Chain A
Amino acid sequence: DTGVSQNPRHKITKRGQNVTFRCDPISEHNRLYWYRQTLGQGPEFLTYFQNEAQLEKSRLLSDRFSAERPKGSFSTLEIQRTEQGDSAMYLCASSRDAQQETQYFGPGTRLLVL
Protein backbone atom coordinates (compact mmCIF):
# COMPACT_ATOMS: atom_id res chain seq x y z
CA ASP A 1 0.00 0.00 0.00
CA THR A 2 1.88 3.02 -1.26
CA GLY A 3 -0.85 5.54 -0.48
CA VAL A 4 -2.49 8.17 -2.64
CA SER A 5 -0.05 10.24 -4.67
CA GLN A 6 -0.59 13.58 -6.35
CA ASN A 7 1.47 15.49 -8.88
CA PRO A 8 2.65 18.14 -8.98
CA ARG A 9 2.84 19.10 -5.32
CA HIS A 10 3.01 22.78 -6.16
CA LYS A 11 1.94 24.75 -9.22
CA ILE A 12 2.30 28.46 -9.90
CA THR A 13 0.57 29.79 -12.97
CA LYS A 14 -0.57 33.03 -14.48
CA ARG A 15 -4.20 33.96 -14.67
CA GLY A 16 -5.79 32.63 -17.84
CA GLN A 17 -3.52 29.62 -18.20
CA ASN A 18 -4.72 26.02 -18.07
CA VAL A 19 -3.43 23.61 -15.43
CA THR A 20 -3.78 19.86 -14.97
CA PHE A 21 -3.28 17.84 -11.81
CA ARG A 22 -2.89 14.11 -11.49
CA CYS A 23 -3.98 11.74 -8.74
CA ASP A 24 -2.95 8.10 -8.39
CA PRO A 25 -5.20 6.32 -5.87
CA ILE A 26 -4.43 3.28 -3.76
CA SER A 27 -4.40 0.44 -6.26
CA GLU A 28 -7.43 -1.57 -5.11
CA HIS A 29 -9.64 1.43 -4.44
CA ASN A 30 -12.63 1.85 -6.76
CA ARG A 31 -13.66 5.29 -5.58
CA LEU A 32 -11.73 8.46 -6.15
CA TYR A 33 -12.63 11.92 -4.82
CA TRP A 34 -11.44 15.44 -5.47
CA TYR A 35 -11.66 18.18 -2.85
CA ARG A 36 -10.58 21.80 -2.73
CA GLN A 37 -9.27 23.43 0.41
CA THR A 38 -8.82 27.17 0.73
CA LEU A 39 -6.95 28.91 3.52
CA GLY A 40 -8.68 28.58 6.86
CA GLN A 41 -11.34 26.22 5.59
CA GLY A 42 -11.96 22.53 5.60
CA PRO A 43 -11.84 20.59 2.35
CA GLU A 44 -14.88 21.04 0.10
CA PHE A 45 -16.10 18.26 -2.13
CA LEU A 46 -15.71 18.75 -5.88
CA THR A 47 -16.45 15.42 -7.54
CA TYR A 48 -16.06 11.68 -7.27
CA PHE A 49 -15.67 8.63 -9.45
CA GLN A 50 -16.58 5.03 -9.06
CA ASN A 51 -14.19 3.29 -11.39
CA GLU A 52 -14.30 5.39 -14.56
CA ALA A 53 -17.78 6.81 -13.98
CA GLN A 54 -18.10 10.33 -12.59
CA LEU A 55 -21.08 9.98 -10.26
CA GLU A 56 -21.40 13.36 -8.59
CA LYS A 57 -20.23 16.90 -9.22
CA SER A 58 -20.44 19.80 -6.80
CA ARG A 59 -21.82 23.17 -7.78
CA LEU A 60 -18.31 24.40 -6.96
CA LEU A 61 -17.12 22.66 -10.11
CA SER A 62 -17.68 25.37 -12.70
CA ASP A 63 -17.53 24.82 -16.45
CA ARG A 64 -13.82 25.64 -16.34
CA PHE A 65 -13.17 22.51 -14.28
CA SER A 66 -13.12 19.02 -15.73
CA ALA A 67 -12.12 15.73 -14.17
CA GLU A 68 -11.51 12.39 -15.79
CA ARG A 69 -10.65 8.89 -14.76
CA PRO A 70 -10.42 7.20 -18.14
CA LYS A 71 -9.32 3.70 -17.14
CA GLY A 72 -10.64 3.67 -13.62
CA SER A 73 -7.18 4.08 -12.17
CA PHE A 74 -5.52 7.51 -12.06
CA SER A 75 -7.51 10.70 -12.39
CA THR A 76 -6.80 14.16 -13.76
CA LEU A 77 -8.34 17.47 -12.78
CA GLU A 78 -8.01 20.26 -15.31
CA ILE A 79 -8.74 23.92 -14.72
CA GLN A 80 -9.08 26.06 -17.82
CA ARG A 81 -8.58 29.82 -17.90
CA THR A 82 -7.46 29.92 -14.30
CA GLU A 83 -8.56 32.76 -12.05
CA GLN A 84 -6.98 34.04 -8.86
CA GLY A 85 -9.90 32.60 -6.93
CA ASP A 86 -8.80 29.12 -8.03
CA SER A 87 -5.77 29.38 -5.76
CA ALA A 88 -6.17 26.58 -3.25
CA MET A 89 -4.98 23.15 -2.21
CA TYR A 90 -6.52 20.43 -4.36
CA LEU A 91 -6.83 17.16 -2.50
CA CYS A 92 -7.48 13.72 -3.89
CA ALA A 93 -8.77 10.81 -1.84
CA SER A 94 -9.62 7.20 -2.57
CA SER A 95 -11.58 4.44 -0.89
CA ARG A 96 -12.94 0.98 -1.43
CA ASP A 97 -16.49 0.65 -2.64
CA ALA A 98 -18.28 0.10 0.66
CA GLN A 99 -20.34 2.31 2.91
CA GLN A 100 -18.05 2.43 5.90
CA GLU A 101 -14.80 2.56 4.05
CA THR A 102 -12.41 5.35 4.95
CA GLN A 103 -11.25 7.89 2.42
CA TYR A 104 -7.47 8.09 2.32
CA PHE A 105 -6.04 11.41 1.25
CA GLY A 106 -3.06 12.32 -0.86
CA PRO A 107 -0.65 15.14 0.01
CA GLY A 108 -2.45 17.61 -2.24
CA THR A 109 -1.46 19.97 -5.02
CA ARG A 110 -1.13 23.60 -3.98
CA LEU A 111 -2.11 25.94 -6.80
CA LEU A 112 -1.21 29.62 -6.85
CA VAL A 113 -2.68 31.75 -9.63
CA LEU A 114 -0.89 35.06 -10.10
Chain B
Amino acid sequence: AQSVTQLGSHVSVSEGALVLLRCNYSSSVPPYLFWYVQYPNQGLQLLLKYTSAATLVKGINGFEAEFKKSETSFHLTKPSAHMSDAAEYFCAARGGYQKVTFGTGTKLQVIP
Protein backbone atom coordinates (compact mmCIF):
# COMPACT_ATOMS: atom_id res chain seq x y z
CA ALA B 1 0.00 0.00 0.00
CA GLN B 2 1.10 3.50 -0.75
CA SER B 3 1.33 6.44 1.58
CA VAL B 4 2.32 9.98 0.70
CA THR B 5 3.52 12.66 3.08
CA GLN B 6 3.72 16.31 2.19
CA LEU B 7 5.75 18.39 4.58
CA GLY B 8 4.21 21.78 5.23
CA SER B 9 0.53 22.43 4.68
CA HIS B 10 1.29 26.07 3.83
CA VAL B 11 4.32 27.50 2.06
CA SER B 12 4.90 31.19 1.36
CA VAL B 13 7.45 32.50 -1.11
CA SER B 14 8.16 35.87 -2.60
CA GLU B 15 7.49 36.42 -6.26
CA GLY B 16 10.62 35.44 -8.17
CA ALA B 17 11.93 33.19 -5.39
CA LEU B 18 12.54 29.46 -5.55
CA VAL B 19 9.56 27.22 -4.92
CA LEU B 20 10.24 23.95 -3.09
CA LEU B 21 7.35 21.68 -2.10
CA ARG B 22 8.31 18.50 -0.33
CA CYS B 23 6.88 15.03 -0.84
CA ASN B 24 7.93 11.67 0.54
CA TYR B 25 6.35 8.37 -0.29
CA SER B 26 6.43 4.92 1.21
CA SER B 27 6.07 1.96 -1.00
CA SER B 28 7.16 -1.62 -1.23
CA VAL B 29 7.42 -1.37 -5.00
CA PRO B 30 8.62 1.45 -7.24
CA PRO B 31 5.59 3.66 -7.64
CA TYR B 32 4.33 6.01 -10.25
CA LEU B 33 4.48 9.51 -8.77
CA PHE B 34 2.51 12.59 -9.66
CA TRP B 35 2.15 16.22 -8.79
CA TYR B 36 -1.23 17.82 -9.31
CA VAL B 37 -2.28 21.45 -8.86
CA GLN B 38 -5.71 22.56 -7.74
CA TYR B 39 -7.04 26.08 -8.07
CA PRO B 40 -9.98 27.15 -5.89
CA ASN B 41 -13.23 25.34 -6.70
CA GLN B 42 -11.63 23.42 -9.54
CA GLY B 43 -10.53 19.88 -10.18
CA LEU B 44 -6.96 18.66 -10.24
CA GLN B 45 -4.62 19.41 -13.10
CA LEU B 46 -1.58 17.23 -13.72
CA LEU B 47 1.71 19.10 -13.42
CA LEU B 48 4.06 16.19 -14.03
CA LYS B 49 4.51 12.47 -13.51
CA TYR B 50 7.35 10.06 -12.86
CA THR B 51 7.12 6.65 -14.51
CA SER B 52 10.74 5.44 -14.14
CA ALA B 53 11.93 6.77 -17.49
CA ALA B 54 14.02 9.60 -16.00
CA THR B 55 14.62 10.71 -12.43
CA LEU B 56 14.29 14.41 -13.25
CA VAL B 57 10.85 15.13 -14.58
CA LYS B 58 9.87 18.38 -16.21
CA GLY B 59 6.28 19.50 -16.13
CA ILE B 60 4.11 22.37 -17.17
CA ASN B 61 4.46 25.98 -16.07
CA GLY B 62 8.18 25.61 -15.37
CA PHE B 63 7.84 23.04 -12.60
CA GLU B 64 10.06 20.02 -12.24
CA ALA B 65 10.52 17.23 -9.73
CA GLU B 66 13.32 14.81 -8.97
CA PHE B 67 12.77 11.21 -7.96
CA LYS B 68 15.27 10.12 -5.31
CA LYS B 69 14.83 6.49 -4.46
CA SER B 70 17.36 6.54 -1.63
CA GLU B 71 15.40 9.30 0.08
CA THR B 72 11.95 8.10 -1.09
CA SER B 73 11.31 11.68 -2.12
CA PHE B 74 9.75 13.45 -5.06
CA HIS B 75 10.08 17.15 -4.28
CA LEU B 76 8.58 19.76 -6.61
CA THR B 77 10.58 22.83 -7.55
CA LYS B 78 10.33 25.93 -9.68
CA PRO B 79 13.22 28.38 -9.97
CA SER B 80 11.13 31.55 -9.92
CA ALA B 81 7.65 31.83 -8.43
CA HIS B 82 4.93 33.70 -10.26
CA MET B 83 1.75 35.09 -8.76
CA SER B 84 -0.26 32.67 -10.88
CA ASP B 85 1.43 29.75 -9.09
CA ALA B 86 -0.63 30.40 -5.96
CA ALA B 87 -2.72 27.26 -5.56
CA GLU B 88 -2.82 23.99 -3.68
CA TYR B 89 -0.42 21.27 -4.75
CA PHE B 90 -0.92 17.56 -4.22
CA CYS B 91 1.68 14.85 -4.45
CA ALA B 92 0.30 11.44 -5.33
CA ALA B 93 1.53 7.89 -5.79
CA ARG B 94 0.21 4.83 -7.53
CA GLY B 95 1.62 1.34 -7.74
CA GLY B 96 0.72 -0.44 -10.95
CA TYR B 97 -3.02 -0.66 -11.42
CA GLN B 98 -3.84 0.45 -7.92
CA LYS B 99 -5.74 3.58 -6.99
CA VAL B 100 -3.91 6.86 -6.59
CA THR B 101 -3.04 7.84 -3.04
CA PHE B 102 -2.79 11.56 -2.40
CA GLY B 103 -0.94 13.58 0.17
CA THR B 104 -2.81 16.14 2.24
CA GLY B 105 -1.73 19.01 0.02
CA THR B 106 0.42 22.12 0.32
CA LYS B 107 -1.06 25.56 -0.21
CA LEU B 108 1.40 27.84 -1.94
CA GLN B 109 1.15 31.55 -1.30
CA VAL B 110 3.14 33.91 -3.50
CA ILE B 111 3.88 37.28 -1.98
CA PRO B 112 4.32 40.22 -4.35
Given contacts A41-B105, A42-B105, A43-B90, contact A103 B100 (CB under 8 A): yes
* Cβ contact within 8 Å between A43 and B32: no
A interface majority secondary structure: loop
* Cβ contact within 8 Å between B90 and A42: yes
Q: Does B45 contact A (CB under 8 A)?
A: yes
Q: Does A25 contact B (CB under 8 A)?
A: no
Q: How far is the CA of A103 from the CA of B54 in the complex (A)?
A: 20
Given contacts A40-B104, A42-B103, A42-B104, contact A99 B97 (CB under 8 A): yes
Which 6 pairs show the lowest CB-CB distances between chains A and B?
A42-B102, A45-B99, A105-B43, A105-B44, A100-B51, A107-B43
Chain A positions near chain B (C-beta within 8 angstroms): 4, 6, 33, 40-45, 48, 56, 58, 91, 93, 99-100, 102-108, 110
Chain B positions near chain A (C-beta within 8 angstroms): 4, 9, 32, 34, 36, 41-46, 49, 51, 90, 92, 96-97, 99-105
